[in-house]
């Protein structure tokens, strides 16, 4: 039986990363009188309207859910602010919290951020860390202020990035680390009635901008190791994209090497049982798992066989040679 902790914890979050934290908060016995999450939206190939992972979990525990499209206006946030809270935990919510919301709970708002701040402030810290070749990242629990991930830090939890990690794999480890850290912080708040924090360093800040299609498009003039990092960074979303002739192709797995192809970037250097070797700005990238538009993931060798790929042909955003 779960022992209830005398602390009213509101929760604001949307995807699976946030749901992991909410589940741990509930399992630890904290009372959660309100959950805020993004409105239901079309998702997946069928574009069926679906509730967020946080909403589904909240409904499973019979927790009241509110889904305002914005919190910028008094009428949009009035229903939420009518619920008394001691603290609001925020994790990948997706809406900006204006000053009236930040001032709403008695102990303010705590954010679970998937990086070691001040590195990778912003919306996409996990893929940006992998794409940059970072060997480590972590989770920061911070006291929110009006800036973008600029508030004072309460606790940091380092998490290593393994050489072949994808964003999906790293996401799970960071979600677990964040869930553990926030429960420890909430227990400390319930025990002490306050939380010590440390201002973020004045140097070392970087910005993790939201991913767009341009980020996902493979630039074959980059070194093979950097393209490989971006392929892993954009797995599972949005997927690293290139083109074969006029066909869009996502690349899900590859292996870089320092071999020198001596051909223009994007040129097929070799096709064999282990994949498709493609010349890069530096080195060669062996594609091993790809997905043609509208199709399923498949071995790169099978893709090459079905399209009669041969050395000298080229991949690229406007590839039409062959």
Same domain, 177 and 29: yes
| Domain stop point among 208, 225, 246 | 208
Give the contacts of 88 (CB within 8 A, at least 6 positions apart). Answer: 9, 10, 11, 12, 101, 104, 105, 108, 109, 110
| Total length of the chain | 322
Of the pLDDT bands very low, low, confident and very high (cuts 50, 70, 90), residue 44 is low
Alpha carbon of 80 to those of 66, 130, 219: distances in Å?
7, 36, 45
Burial 84-115 (b: 16+ CB within 10 A, else e): ebbbbbbbbbebebbeebbebbebbbbbbbbb
pLDDT value, residue 260 = 87
pLDDT value, residue 49 = 86
Domain CATH code at residue 121: 3.40.50.170
Give the contacts of 215 (CB within 8 A, at least 6 positions apart). Answer: 230, 234, 238
pLDDT value, residue 45 = 67
Of the pLDDT bands very low, low, confident and very high (cuts 50, 70, 90), residue 322 is very low
Same domain, 113 and 25: yes
Same domain, 195 and 217: no
| Domain stop point among 184, 208, 232 | 208
- Distance between CA atoms of residues 20 and 11, nearest Å: 12
| Domain stop point among 162, 188, 208 | 208
The proportion of the chain whose per-residue pLDDT surpasses 90, expressed as a percent, equals 89
Same domain, 272 and 172: no
Domain CATH code at residue 233: 3.10.25.10
Of the pLDDT bands very low, low, confident and very high (cuts 50, 70, 90), residue 316 is confident
Query: Does the structure show a pLDDT above 50 at 319?
Result: no
Alpha carbon of 175 to those of 19, 22, 72, 276, 299: distances in Å?
9, 11, 28, 34, 30
Same domain, 162 and 25: yes
Q: Which of 102, 139, 136 is nearest to 117 (CA)?
A: 139
Beta pairing class for 30-31 and 121-122: unpaired
Give the pLDDT confidence of 23-41 residue by residue, as tens digits: 999 999 999 999 999 999 8
Same domain, 183 and 70: yes
Same domain, 87 and 167: yes
The proportion of the chain whose per-residue pLDDT surpasses 70, expressed as a percent, equals 96
Same domain, 118 and 30: yes
Q: What is the average pLDDT value for the chain, to the nearest integer?
A: 94
Domain membership of residue 49 (yes or no) is yes
- Distance between CA atoms of residues 81 and 197, nearest Å: 25
pLDDT value, residue 100 = 97
Same domain, 71 and 40: yes
Give the contacts of 37 (CB within 8 A, at least 6 positions apart). Answer: 12, 13, 14, 51, 52, 54, 55, 58, 65, 66, 67, 93
Q: What would the mean pLDDT of 135-159 be, rounded to a whole number?
A: 97
Number of structural domains in the chain:
2
Give the pLDDT confidence of 165-223 residue by residue, as tens digits: 999 999 999 999 999 999 999 999 999 999 999 999 989 999 999 998 889 999 999 99
pLDDT value, residue 52 = 97
Query: Does the structure show a pLDDT above 80 at 11?
Result: yes
Domain membership of residue 316 (yes or no) is no
Domain membership of residue 203 (yes or no) is yes
Domain membership of residue 315 (yes or no) is no
Domain membership of residue 321 (yes or no) is no
Q: What would the mean pLDDT of 223-246 be, rounded to a whole number?
A: 96
Same domain, 182 and 225: no
Domain membership of residue 311 (yes or no) is no
Domain membership of residue 151 (yes or no) is yes
pTM over 0.85: yes
User: Residue 231 sits in which domain range?
Assistant: 213-306
Token digits of residue 154: 């309460």
Judge contact between 36 and 80, C-beta under 8 A.
Answer: yes
Same domain, 150 and 271: no
Same domain, 204 and 217: no
Which of 3-17, 161-175, 213-227 has the least mean pLDDT?
3-17
Domain membership of residue 318 (yes or no) is no
């Amino acid at each position: 039986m779960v022992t209830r902790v005398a602390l009213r914890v509101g929760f604001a979050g949307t995807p699976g990363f946030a749901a992991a934290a909410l589940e741990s908060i509930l399992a630890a016995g904290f009372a959660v009188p309100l959950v805020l999450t993004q409105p239901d939206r079309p998702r997946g190939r069928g574009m069926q309207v679906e509730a967020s992972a946080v909403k589904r979990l909240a409904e499973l525990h019979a927790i009241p859910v509110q889904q305002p499209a914005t919190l910028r206006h008094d009428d949009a946030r009035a229903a939420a602010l009518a619920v008394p809270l001691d603290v609001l935990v925020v994790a990948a919510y997706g809406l900006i919290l204006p000053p009236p919301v930040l001032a709403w709970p008695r102990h303010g708002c705590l954010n679970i951020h998937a990086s070691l701040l001040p590195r990778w402030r912003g919306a996409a810290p996990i893929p940006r860390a992998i794409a940059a070749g970072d060997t480590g990242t972590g989770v920061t629990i911070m006291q929110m202020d009006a800036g973008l991930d600029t508030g004072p830090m309460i606790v940091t939890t380092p998490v290593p990035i393994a050489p072949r990690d994808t964003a999906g794999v790293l996401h799970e480890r960071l979600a677990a680390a964040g869930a553990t850290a926030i429960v420890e912080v909430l227990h400390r708040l319930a025990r002490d009635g306050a939380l010590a924090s440390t201002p973020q360093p004045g140097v070392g800040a970087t910005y993790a901008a939201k991913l767009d299609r341009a980020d996902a498009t493979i630039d074959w003039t980059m070194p093979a190791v950097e393209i490989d990092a971006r392929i892993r960074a954009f797995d599972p979303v949005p997927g690293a994209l290139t083109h074969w002739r006029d066909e869009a192709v996502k690349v899900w797995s590859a292996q870089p090497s320092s071999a020198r192809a001596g051909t223009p970037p994007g040129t097929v250097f070799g096709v064999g049982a282990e994949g498709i070797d493609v010349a890069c700005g530096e080195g060669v990238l062996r594609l091993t798992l790809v997905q043609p538009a509208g199709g399923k993931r498949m071995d790169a060798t099978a893709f090459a066989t079905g399209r009669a790929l041969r050395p000298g042909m080229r991949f690229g955003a406007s590839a039409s040679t062959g």
